[in-house]
Amino acid sequence: EVVMTQSPATLSVSPGERATLSCRASQSVSSHLAWYQQKPGQAPRLLIYGVSTRATGVPARFSGSGSGTEFTLTISSLQSEDFAVYYCQQYNNLPQTFGQGTKVEIK
Amino acid sequence: EVQLVESGGGLVQPGGSLRLSCAASGFTFSNYWMHWVRQAPGKGLVWVSRINSDGSSRTYADSVQGRFTISRDNARNTLYLEMNGLRAEDTAVYYCTRHRYVEYFQYWGQGTLVTVSS
């Protein structure tokens, strides 16, 4: 199966700062890469699909980039509601696989 | 409004069985593939199983193959997960989700907690 590796495990950021999260695939997943946000006690929320397309209602401060095996989620100016855990997911190969998550915490 | 509502979780002993349900509303259920994804306490997301729109094709993660069975009732707009031979490592919140053309997951239920313990 395709192994998804996210880094860093934890990212400490001050409100208003930029956050850059990385996701690496063990083999090419083409453009079949999504990002999710999860807050404690809640279901995941789809943020980005197809590497860079924002889901409905997702603010423009969230952006995705990359291709093949290296991907990035950027949050341009962190708001209080953005502190959460973020997961990447590849859906190019079965089984779909998720990264282990990056926790974005308040610095 | 799309809604997915899981139920059926609870405490079960190792080796036991449980059936989860996911009631769907707000969309044409029979047009969508449906999935189960689980999350162990404090851990990440793991895909478990999927079923195609008419129920004729089912796929499982290796970790549950032969123990879990996914099914659906399109007349009742309901997805099921029959879990047998439960192990401690099956302890998790189980979410149902859907896709139509591409397998990313826009809508999720709130999840149902399964605890396998003696």
Spell out the per-residue pLDDT of chain A, length 107, in tens: 999 999 999 999 999 999 999 999 999 999 999 999 999 999 999 999 999 999 999 999 999 999 999 999 999 999 999 999 999 999 999 999 999 999 999 88
C-alpha distance across the termini of chain A, in Å: 35
Distance of CA A51 to the CA centre of its chain: 10
Q: Across the interface, do A36 and B45 touch by the CB < 8 Å criterion?
A: yes
Q: Does B95 touch chain A (CB under 8 A)?
A: yes
Q: Across the interface, do B106 and A36 touch by the CB < 8 Å criterion?
A: no
Q: Across the interface, do B47 and A98 touch by the CB < 8 Å criterion?
A: yes
Q: In the block, which residue shows the tokens 């404090």?
A: B42
Q: Is the pLDDT of residue B22 over 90?
A: yes
Nearest-angstrom CA–CA distance, B34 and B71: 9
Nearest-angstrom CA–CA distance, A7 and A24: 8
DSSP track, B22-82: EEEESS-GGGSEEEEEEE-TTS-EEEEEEE-TTSS-EEE-TTTTTTEEEEEETTTTEEEEE
Nearest-angstrom CA–CA distance, B14 and B118: 7
State which residue of chain B sits closest to A42, comparing Cα positions.
B110
Whole-number pLDDT of residue B100 = 83
Residues B87 and B29 sit within 8 Å (Cβ to Cβ): no
Q: Does B27 touch chain A (CB under 8 A)?
A: no
Q: Does B8 touch chain A (CB under 8 A)?
A: no
pLDDT digits over B61-110, tens only? 999 999 999 999 999 999 999 999 999 999 999 999 999 888 899 999 99
Contacts of B103 in chain A (CB under 8 A): 32, 91, 96
Q: Does A77 touch chain B (CB under 8 A)?
A: no
Residues A32 and A91 sit within 8 Å (Cβ to Cβ): yes
Whole-number pLDDT of residue B47 = 97
Kindly state the percentage of chain B with pLDDT values over 70: 100
> Where residue B115 falls among pLDDT bands split at 50, 70, 90?
very high
Q: Across the interface, do B45 and A87 touch by the CB < 8 Å criterion?
A: yes
